[in-house]
Amino acid sequence: MESKNRSHCPVTYALDLIGDKWSLLMLRDIILFDKKYYHEFTQSLEGISTNILANRLAMLEGNGILLKVRDEQDKKRFIYSPTEKGLDLLPVIISMVLWSAKYDADTVAPLDEIKKIEQDPAAFMNKVRSKFSGEKMPDPVAL
C-alpha cells in the first residue's frame, strides 16, 4: 500500500508517509521500546483502533519503513522491525522529544536522559541503532 504523494517537496514527502498521529508512535514503540508484535502495539499505543493500527502497519511496510517477517518461534505471528529507512527517522523522533521536553510542562521525559540526548544526539542514536544492527534480516514474507 503506497501513499499518494501531494508533491515532492521534502517536507511534504515525509508528512505524506509519517504525518499522522500514529506512525511515529509506532516507530517509537518499535525502535525505542523494543516492541515487535501486533498485540504489543494494541496494548501500548494510546487508544489506537485496530483498523487504524492495521492500516498504518501496512502503510509503513509498503513504504519500506518497517519489515514484517514471520516469527520462526511461533509461525502464526509476525515480527515487525525497522528498516534502515525507518531507523533514519530517529532524528525526527529525537527532535520531537527534545521540543516536547522543552515545552510540555507535564512531560514524562526523564530529564537526565533528555540532557544526555541534547549533549550528544549522535551517541544516543548510535546506541539505539546498535540494538538492530546485529539482527539477521530475513526475507520479507509473501502475503
Q: Give yes or no for residue 70 binding its own copies (CB under 8 A).
A: no
> Interface with its own copies includes 89 (CB under 8 A)?
yes
For position 49 contacting its own copies by CB under 8 A, the verdict is no
Distances (CA, A) of 43 to 16, 29, 51, 53, 86: 26, 11, 14, 11, 22
Determine the interface stretch with its own copies among 5-13, 35-43, 74-82, 130-138 (rule: CB under 8 A).
5-13
Does the protein bind its own copies through residue 4 (CB under 8 A)?
A: no
Instruction: Give the one residue of 39, 49, 62, 96 binding its own copies; rule: CB under 8 A.
Output: 96
Q: Which of 69, 65, 73 is nearest to 93 (CA)?
A: 65
Contact between 108 and its own copies per CB under 8 A: yes
- In the chain, the N- to C-terminal Cα span, in Å, equals 12
DSSP 29: I
39 binds its own copies, rule: CB under 8 A: no
Q: What are phi and psi of 107, to 5 degrees?
A: -60, 145
Cell numbers describing residue 121: 544526539
Q: Does 10 bind its own copies (CB under 8 A)?
A: yes
Closest distance to its own copies from the beta carbon of 5 (Å): 8
How is residue 6 written as a grid cell? 501531494
Binding site for its own copies (CB under 8 A): 5-16, 19-22, 24-25, 28, 46-47, 64, 85, 88-89, 91-104, 106-109
